[in-house]
């Protein structure tokens, strides 16, 4: 069961947390979709994927004190698996000392990836989400499996290009503790002068006077301000699965260890499938729509040189 500690001192955050049981999934699809698109966090408590969960019952690898000195394969298991397979084999052997179990571990990870894909495909639309071939290497490569103790991160919104569906699954007896609270819109509102300054930068205005910017750059810019923000706290317990759009929902990983961070890319032609979902999922549209409504009266178009 997830436990949420609301910080009474905060009044300027709008993220809501919706908690469901796995049995409620079928009837709650519209509710989940709405909340995801609105930038809230949906927790499906004690989410059991019908795979051999026992395979994940090993002790997390320790995190080394100096983050910079950790070889990639220790903290980001699968990102490097296909790039540096030999190194990763060493990690699996370190976990099990048994190559058969290592193969089984990989198989169960892949099944979990498929299972969560199907859940999201039911909630949204299977035509919206890019589906790699079952058991394809890319399929796992894009998600993140962490088998180490987590180093506390800063409070941030993710910085990556493209749009992905995200889901997080705690595999540890220890809770995964997140600081949270602000949607990207809350941050924009709190830092509106800084945002206007950013939007006025010549590189963010096209020759025709339209704002155009890269989500990665804008999120990196907003992240500069987040460490001063107080947060609420969530403890996600073993097998809790929580879904939220981490490009738009600020989060700080405070502690935790084994977990899966599933990533499913949005199809390019999403606008053909659902105009409405496209409007609300697309980062630039979402941000610009909010800015337009929030900045009524304020002008941020490029000054014309006479």
Closest to Fe ion by CB, 168 vs 239, is: 168
The minimum distance between CB 246 and Fe ion, in angstroms, equals 5
Place of tokens 């927790």: 43
Q: Which of residues 153-172 bind Fe ion (CB under 5 A)?
A: 158
The residues with which 260 forms a beta bridge, in sequence order, are 145, 169
- Token couple for 94: 């370190």
> Is the CB of 166 or the CB of 280 nearer to Fe ion?
166
Euclidean distance between CA atoms 140 and 84, whole angstroms: 14
Residue 18 phi/psi, 5° resolution? -110, 125
Choose the binding region for Fe ion from 151-159, 185-193, 198-206, 287-295 (rule: CB under 5 A). Answer: 151-159
Binding mask 9-38 for Fe ion (x = CB under 5 A): ------------------------------
| Cβ neighbours for 257, distance < 8 A, ≥ 6 positions apart | 60, 146, 147, 148, 149, 150, 172, 174, 176
CB of 24 to Fe ion, least distance (A): 27
Find, among 268, 231, 276, 225, the residue nearest to 38 by Cα: 276
Segment interacting with Fe ion (CB under 5 A) among 39-47, 106-114, 152-160, 224-232: 152-160
In the bound complex, what is the minimum distance in angstroms from residue 5's beta carbon to Fe ion?
20
- CA distance linking residue 115 with residue 111, whole number of Å: 6
Our CB check for Fe ion shows the closer of 251 and 278 to be: 251
Enter the tokens of residue 54.
């026992």
Tell me whether residue 175 or residue 179 sits nearer to Fe ion (CB atom): 179
Q: How far is the CB of 156 from Fe ion (least distance, A)?
A: 6
Output the CA angle 138-46-181, nearest 5 degrees: 80
- Name which of 195 and 249 has its Cβ closer to Fe ion: 249
Provide, rounded to whole angstroms, the least separation between the CB of residue 114 and Fe ion: 23
Closest-CB residue for Fe ion? 158
> For the chain, where are the alpha helices, taking DSSP H only?
29-37, 72-75, 85-96, 99-123, 137-141, 184-190, 192-200, 215-226, 270-273, 275-281, 283-294
Could you say which residues in the range 40-59 bind Fe ion, by CB under 5 A?
A: none
Report the residue number, 24 or 158, with the smaller CB distance to Fe ion.
158
Q: Which residues contact 204 (CB under 8 A, 6 or more apart)?
A: 198, 211, 212, 213
CB 259 to Fe ion: min, Å: 12
Size of the site for Fe ion (CB under 5 A): 1
* Residue number with CB closer to Fe ion (46 or 158): 158
Stretch that binds Fe ion, among 93-101, 150-158, 230-238, 290-298 (CB under 5 A): 150-158
Minimum CB–partner distance for residue 90 and Fe ion (Å): 27
102 vs 245 by CB, closer to Fe ion: 245
252 — alpha (psi -120 to 50), left (phi > 0) or beta? beta
Smallest separation (angstroms) from Fe ion to the CB of 251: 6
Point out which residues bind Fe ion (CB under 5 A): 158
């Amino acid at each position: 069961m997830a436990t949420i500690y609301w910080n009474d001192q905060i009044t300027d955050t709008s993220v809501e947390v919706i908690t469901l049981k796995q049995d409620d999934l079928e009837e709650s699809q519209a509710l989940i979709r709405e909340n995801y698109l609105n930038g809230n966090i949906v927790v499906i408590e004690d989410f059991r994927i019908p795979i051999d969960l026992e395979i994940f019952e090993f002790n997390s690898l320790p995190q080394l004190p100096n983050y910079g000195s950790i070889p990639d394969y220790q903290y980001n298991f699968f990102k490097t698996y296909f790039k540096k397979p030999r190194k990763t084999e060493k990690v699996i052997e370190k976990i099990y000392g048994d190559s058969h179990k290592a193969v089984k571990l990989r198989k169960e990870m892949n099944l979990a990836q498929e299972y969560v894909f199907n859940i999201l495909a039911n909630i949204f639309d299977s035509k919206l989400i890019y589906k790699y071939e079952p058991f394809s290497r890319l399929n796992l490569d894009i998600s993140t499996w962490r088998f180490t103790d987590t180093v506390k991160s800063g409070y941030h919104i993710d910085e990556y290009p493209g749009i992905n569906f995200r889901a997080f699954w705690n595999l540890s007896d220890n809770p995964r503790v997140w600081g949270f609270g602000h949607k990207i819109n809350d941050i924009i509102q709190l830092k509106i002068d800084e945002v206007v300054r950013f939007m006025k930068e010549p590189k963010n205005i096209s020759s025709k006077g339209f704002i155009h910017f890269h989500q990665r750059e804008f999120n990196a810019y907003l992240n500069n301000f987040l460490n001063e923000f107080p947060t609420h706290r969530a403890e996600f317990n073993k097998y809790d699965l929580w879904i939220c759009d981490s490009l738009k929902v600020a989060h700080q990983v405070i502690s935790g260890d084994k977990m899966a961070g599933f990533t499913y890319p949005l199809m390019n032609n999403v606008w053909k499938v659902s105009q409405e979902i496209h409007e609300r999922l697309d980062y630039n549209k979402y941000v610009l729509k909010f800015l337009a409504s929030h900045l009524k009266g304020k002008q941020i178009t490029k000054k014309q040189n006479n």
